[in-house]
Structures are given as structure tokens and as C-alpha cells.
């Protein structure tokens, strides 16, 4: 048996989640069982508790999308041996993207953990940086020297976008609603400018960029999206990554026509499912940069499994700069 965070029912305020004793998984062909050393909390983990995420696994299931740890059992053809340090998406009861918040999880085709990343850093990397890569490179056609505005820059996917855009040679404006969190972003990743969006930001973006941003990365939605439409450059790319603000905005199409910009919806996981060969190239790209030391995920907090509620509340309350990590081994 093992301890795991199980979602039994959909309910507000994470009321359907509880740590329970469940049967430890076994490795099938092509699978490994991993002793979880670290698992990252992602915004979709919160949405799934109320059935608000696009992917809706059947209940009950073990929560948690991605983890890092050590292989304790390897099935035929898995390509890994007991003791190997790996990282990747978890899989519970044949449901991909679930099962990470447990003492042990199953993985199919994990990746070797980069030696230069701690377990917590590796667990914080995959989803956030893949989202940033698909957004900026595949959908945004980023070029060195482009001005990139990253909204929600202190969150997991936002901070990854700041880090990646800088590594790819872009000029980055990191935005948020907290001066303290923006100061941490500035100290850790050195964007070209930071902007507090409270009270508006379009005039400042136009002034800094000399007319407008080439790419705007928006995981926030709501009012932030509305104002982004007014400070994007002609021919720019406005990337809709999510709606953390809670309001799904609408686009006045005449603004897109007049300013000649493109609105692109981003679903990194779906991109990989529809274009598997390109999806593999994307994974190789981000993990190659991580292994070369060009990208550095930021871990905000590491908490034991029994403190899962604190980890969820940190993310829900927008208190995280980077990623909150659950450590079942603590």
C-alpha cells in the first residue's frame, strides 16, 4: 500500500481531495514504477477538482500531473533500470496526466533527470517549459530581438516564458500585480523591464517597445487580455494560454483587422497529441536546453504530501513565484 492524494468527487474549495491509503501500482510492459521524490502543482490540478479543466478523468483518481523520482520497478521494454533518476508525466489507472501526488507512480516513456537539476527543479520543469516553448516558438514564431510581454510572470508558466524568451534572445517585459513578486522575477531572470499591471500597462508597453509588443503571452485573460489588444504591434502575435483571472475575454475583431495581429490559442499537450513528431522535437528542445544549463526553473516551496492543501492554496492565492512542489518523501 501507499499514501496518495485522491480526488473522490468534484467539489469547491478542494473538498473532494483527501490523502488515502491505496494499492501501490505495478509496472506493465513499457512502464516504470517511480518512487516519487518531487511532484509539481499545476493550475490544471486545481481546475480538475471542480471539473473545470478540458481533460476530465473518471473519478476517483490520484491527482498530480508530473513528477521526478527513482525507478523501483521496470516493465519489459521500458528502457530504464531500477535506480535510474527520471522525470515525466505520471499515469494512474491508464489515465495520462494523473497519479503524481503519491509515494509511487507509473510513468510511460519518462526522461532521464538532468544531473544539473535537483528533483524538485526537474519536477517543476516539463509542463511549464513545454507550454512556454509551444507558445513562443511554435505559435508565436519568436525571433531574437522580438519584444515579448509575459503576463502573470511570477506564476509557473509565466516564469518559464520569461526564462525561455530571454534564453532565445528576445527582449522581455515581465508583468504582474505584485511589486514584491516582480522584484523576485527581476532578480532571478533579469527581464528587460518589469511592469505592475495595476492601473493599466498599455502606454508603458508602447513606450518601452517603441510602438507595441511583437508577442504577448497571456495566461491571465480578463482585463489583461483586453488591454493587451491595445498595445500589440502591427503583425504581432497575441498568445492566449489560459484564463487565470477567471474571466474569458472576447476579442473585438475590428481591432485585429486594424492592427493586423494574430490571436493564437495555445494547448501545448494537445499540440503534441495532434502532431506527435513535432511534439517530440519540442520535448527534445526544452530538455536539451535544461541539460545545457540554459534554463533554470524556480521552486517556490517544497511541502510534504500531508500539506497538499497548503500547496494548492499557495497556487490558488497567487502567492507562488515559480512552482509549489509536493514531496511525498518528507
Interval 103-157: pLDDT, tens: 999 999 899 999 999 999 999 999 999 999 999 999 999 999 999 999 999 999 9
Neighbouring-strand partners of residue 194 = 174
Asked if 92 contacts 133 with a C-beta cutoff of 8 angstroms, the reply is no
**Same domain assignment for residues 113 and 164:** no
**Same domain assignment for residues 266 and 132:** yes
Domain enclosing residue 222, as ranges: 127-270
* CATH code of the domain covering residue 242: 3.40.50.720
Helices H / strands E in the chain, number of each = 11, 17
**Same domain assignment for residues 171 and 47:** no
Q: How many CB atoms lie within 10 A of CB 277?
A: 8
**Same domain assignment for residues 164 and 240:** yes
**Same domain assignment for residues 115 and 156:** no
**Same domain assignment for residues 194 and 229:** yes
Residue with C-alpha cell 494547448?
267
**To 5 degrees, how large is the angle CA 58–CA 99–CA 276?**
85
* 146 lies in some domain: yes
* 136 lies in some domain: yes
* 284 lies in some domain: no
* 304 lies in some domain: yes
Residue 298 is classified by DSSP as -
Q: Each residue of 303-315: pLDDT tens digit?
A: 999 999 999 999 9
- Residue 213: is its pLDDT beyond 80? yes
**Same domain assignment for residues 111 and 71:** yes
* 285 lies in some domain: no
> Which pLDDT score is estimated for 94?
65
SS3 122: helix
Q: What is the pTM of this model?
A: 0.92
**Same domain assignment for residues 137 and 261:** yes
Pairing of strands 193-196, 171-176: parallel
As a whole number, mean pLDDT of residues 216-226 equals 96
What is the number of domains present in the chain?
2
**Same domain assignment for residues 222 and 319:** no
Amino acid at each position: 500500500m501507499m499514501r496518495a492524494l485522491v480526488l473522490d468527487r468534484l467539489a469547491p474549495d478542494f473538498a473532494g481531495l483527501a490523502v488515502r491509503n491505496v494499492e501501490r501500482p505495478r509496472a506493465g510492459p513499457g512502464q516504470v514504477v517511480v518512487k516519487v521524490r518531487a511532484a509539481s502543482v499545476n493550475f490544471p490540478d486545481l481546475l480538475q477538482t471542480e471539473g473545470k479543466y478540458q481533460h476530465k478523468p473518471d473519478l476517483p483518481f490520484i491527482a498530480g500531473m508530473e513528477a521526478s523520482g527513482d525507478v523501483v520497478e521496470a516493465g519489459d521494454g521500458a528502457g530504464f533500470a531500477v535506480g535510474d533518476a527520471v522525470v515525466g508525466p505520471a499515469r494512474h489507472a491508464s489515465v495520462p496526466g494523473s497519479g503524481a501526488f503519491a509515494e509511487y507512480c507509473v510513468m510511460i516513456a519518462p526522461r532521464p533527470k538532468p544531473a544539473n537539476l535537483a528533483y524538485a527543479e526537474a519536477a517543476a520543469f516539463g509542463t511549464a517549459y513545454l507550454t512556454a516553448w509551444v507558445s513562443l516558438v511554435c505559435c508565436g514564431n519568436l525571433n531574437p530581438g522580438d519584444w515579448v510581454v509575459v503576463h502573470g510572470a511570477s506564476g509557473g508558466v509565466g516564469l518559464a516564458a520569461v526564462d525561455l524568451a530571454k534564453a532565445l534572445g528576445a527582449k522581455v517585459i515581465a508583468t504582474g500585480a505584485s511589486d514584491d513578486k516582480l522584484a523576485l522575477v527581476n532578480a532571478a531572470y533579469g527581464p528587460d523591464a518589469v511592469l505592475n499591471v495595476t492601473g493599466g500597462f498599455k502606454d508603458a508597453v508602447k513606450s518601452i517597445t517603441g510602438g507595441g509588443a511583437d508577442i504577448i503571452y497571456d495566461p491571465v485573460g480578463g482585463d489583461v487580455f483586453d488591454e493587451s489588444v491595445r498595445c500589440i504591434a502591427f503583425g504581432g502575435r497575441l498568445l492566449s494560454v489560459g484564463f487565470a483571472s477567471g474571466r474569458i475575454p472576447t476579442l473585438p475583431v475590428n481591432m485585429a483587422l486594424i492592427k493586423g495581429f494574430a490571436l493564437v490559442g495555445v494547448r501545448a499537450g494537445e499540440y503534441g497529441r495532434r502532431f506527435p513528431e513535432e511534439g517530440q522535437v519540442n520535448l527534445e528542445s526544452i530538455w536539451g536546453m535544461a541539460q545545457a544549463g540554459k534554463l533554470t526553473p524556480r521552486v517556490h516551496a517544497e511541502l510534504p504530501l500531508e500539506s497538499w492543501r497548503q500547496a494548492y492554496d499557495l497556487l490558488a492565492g497567487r502567492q507562488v513565484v515559480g512552482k509549489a512542489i509536493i514531496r511525498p518523501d518528507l
